[in-house]
Amino acid sequence: MQVFSSIKDLTKNKNTILTLGTFDGIHPGHLKIIDKLVSCSKEKGCRNVVITFHPHPRTVLSGSSSVKMLSTQEEKINLLRKHGVENLLTMNFTKEFASLTAEEFIYGYLINGIGLSEIVLGHDHHFGKGRSGNVELLKMIGAKENFVVTTAEPFLIDGEVVSSTKIRNAISEGDIARSNKLLARNYSFSGVVVSGDKRGRELGFPTANIKLSSQEKLLPASGIYAVRVFVENENHIGLLSIGNRPTFYNEGELVTEVYIYDFNREIYGKEVTVELVERLRGEEKFNSAEELIDQMNKDKENGLKIFNKLNN
């Protein structure tokens, strides 16, 4: 897959089937569109192009704090490549870009910029200034400019439409069972192991402190989670702790650390990927280190029960 950061680097080609959207998380609803795009391009002998945007449009349009992302650019690239996308164009989403009317975007970028024989979109997709662009407008212009508009129906799980916002809300609330179900895979994040204050080692639970690879990545709510840990091409089970460690600090910084079962190697500077399996509990403040150790032992046992159940 070729990755482009500017439309100028993408050669104009009329025989192009494309789709566009933020595609944060690449959930089953997105994959329904992507799979239709890829199958149509193979069937018609056209190149396929996915157009996405960064930063998240809501961050730019709201002017407030940035939206935390379900997928980093690297994760998005890997997932799209896996599903047969040939060309990915990531466009810089700015206020100036957001001010373009739908017609200006369609003609200036899609028809005259990239080239277009077919566009594949979700049935309720909107774009352009004031969200004036939609499937009906594209079909009207397509009839004049000789391109086809294909739509994909929403993806439902238990009668509910899957969306990035719903997944993001579930993760923020620590509802990993729901987020993983909507994603159709375990949510994960990556980072580099850095030196911490060795508090876990003192308690008999040595942990790897993780510095996120991307500060835009969404972390789940504070608490303890059963996780899979991927390090140096190995798959381990572990417990993830996210929180401010209130037993020891009144206003501690948010720490992301993972205890890996039956693991005693030094992995400072190594990149690890943490895949969330199930939430055990929320973060708690204990009266003493001894109380905390008792609870950590219970967490360790409960985590093993989760993985034993999954393996049976």
pLDDT of residue 198: 61
pLDDT of residue 251: 64
CB atoms within 10 A of CB 61: 11
What secondary structure letter does DSSP report for 7? G
Among the listed residues 179, 184, 160, 177, the one whose alpha carbon sits nearest the alpha carbon of residue 169: 179
3-state DSSP call for residue 197?
A: coil
The domain spans of the chain are 2-161, 186-311
What is the DSSP track for 78-136? HHHHHTT--EEEEEE--HHHHTS-HHHHIIIIIIIII--SEEEEETT--BSGGG-B-HH
124-172 tens-digit pLDDT: 888 888 888 899 999 999 999 999 999 998 899 988 899 999 999 999 9
Low-confidence ranges of the chain (pLDDT < 70): 63-65, 197-204, 245-252, 312
Among the listed residues 86, 144, 152, the one whose alpha carbon sits nearest the alpha carbon of residue 111: 144
pLDDT of residue 280: 97
Amino acid at 305: K
pLDDT of residue 203: 62
Mean pLDDT of the chain: 90
pLDDT of residue 52: 95
Count the residues in the chain: 312
pLDDT of residue 250: 56
- Domain 186-311 part of CATH 1.10.3720.10: no
93-133 tens-digit pLDDT: 999 998 999 999 999 999 999 999 999 998 788 888 888 88
pLDDT of residue 206: 83
CATH fold of 2-161: Rossmann fold (3.40.50)
| Per-residue tokens: 283 | 């973060």
| Per-residue tokens: 160 | 């509910």
